[in-house]
Amino acid sequence: MDYSQLAFPAYRFILPEVLADDWLATVGWHKLNRDHVLHQPLTAYVVLKLLTGGEHADPPFMVDDKTSLLDACVDEILKWQGTAYLRESLFHIGIREGDPWLENSPVGRALWRCLFVEAAYLAAIFHDMGYPWQYVNLLSNKLEHAGLQPDSPGAGAEQLLEAFGDRLLFCPLNGYRVLNRTVPATWGQQLAATTAKALRKTHGLPGAIGFLYLNDILRDYPVDDTHPIRQFCVEWAAMAILMHDMPKIYWGDGTTLPSNGHMRLKFSVDPLSCVVALADVVEDFARPVARFQDLEDVAPPAARPRDAKEAVALTYRDSCDTTVLTLHHASSPAVLTIDYRFSQEDQCAVKRHWIPKEHRDYFDRQHGYLDLSGMGVDRVDMLASRAAV
């Protein structure tokens, strides 16, 4: 929390909500009541383990015998091919030709390594802050089916585009292009429709908008003394918060082919969002799950509290002990294995139930949302197994 307030001063405005006993903000009721509060700093921990090895001087995650994941990310950025949109954003904040940020030099690489780790950590520790908003929108969707018409979500999307449409945040929704004055008139309507859908069906866009807005209200008007690179870090992190939760929008209503293929998360185009999304999938360990039981089944009458009004017992325990991530880069094809190891068979079985859909959504070899081929991964396998006793 100290880091959160240092790196993102507006965090102190939402700290009471984070600490409050707010069920909707702490667990995901739609998926076995999984925790989201501990999950966010643990996802940041996974990000650091992948990129730097962590604080215990462990080796970072390697994509081959000589290249770390962090170096592979910097390599893709400094090619300025799929990442040309980042170069344009840097020009907008005042970076000029000849500055080390634009050069694949020892100084330039050192700067990008530091910035990448900072932005990835910042995005990871706040990536699920949009969950309460998503819950409200889910209720709104139910009201629509009941014949009650809330305010048009499209109107809210148009207001957001007017306020934030020129920010780096919306670049992925345009196929990772910075729009100019020659774009077709119909693109604006399509972007508004996609934005409205993302507001209703994801927590990524609400979280990213909230993250940016809280930062914006701290910036002095009319002269902002925020360092340009510091602000770029915030904008970049907001984009990763958005993109970690866009598989539903990417797939749309398509059962075999994605409806919005231009939004596929490719390592060669958006390495930051890829790292955060991968860490989010990997982090399932030490993540409590709420379990409700009849009080009569777990405690005899003499052991029950006298003032107990409800005959329900609640336990809040984690069952996934660890996640083992292995890249077999020497094999052909190169296979990335994500192995979730559980101490309880029932939770292991539940994870096995969810894996096929999660694997299809994220790692299908042809159309999965997360395309890691840019870091040399040909296939991703997901497993759920019992932890060794």
- Per domain, the residue ranges of the chain are 2-296+310-386
What is the predicted pLDDT for the residue at 267?
97
By CB atoms closer than 10 A (0-12, 13-18, 19+), residue 367 is: middle
Exposure string of 54-88, with b = 16+ CB inside 10 Å and e = fewer, is: eeeeeebbebeeeebbbbbbbbbbbeeebbebbbe
For the stretch 52-98, pLDDT in tens is 998 777 899 999 989 999 999 999 999 999 999 999 999 998 899 99
Question: pLDDT by residue (tens digit) across 292-339?
Answer: 666 666 556 555 555 555 566 667 677 788 999 999 877 778 999 999
User: Residues near 29 by Cβ (< 8 Å), separated by ≥ 6?
Assistant: 23, 135
Residue 206 has pLDDT above 70, yes or no: yes
pLDDT attached to residue 20: 46
For residue 148, is pLDDT > 50?
no
Is pLDDT at 31 greater than 70 in this prediction? Answer: no
Q: What is the pTM of this model?
A: 0.83
Q: Is pLDDT at 371 greater than 80 in this prediction?
A: yes
Give the model's pLDDT for residue 38: 78
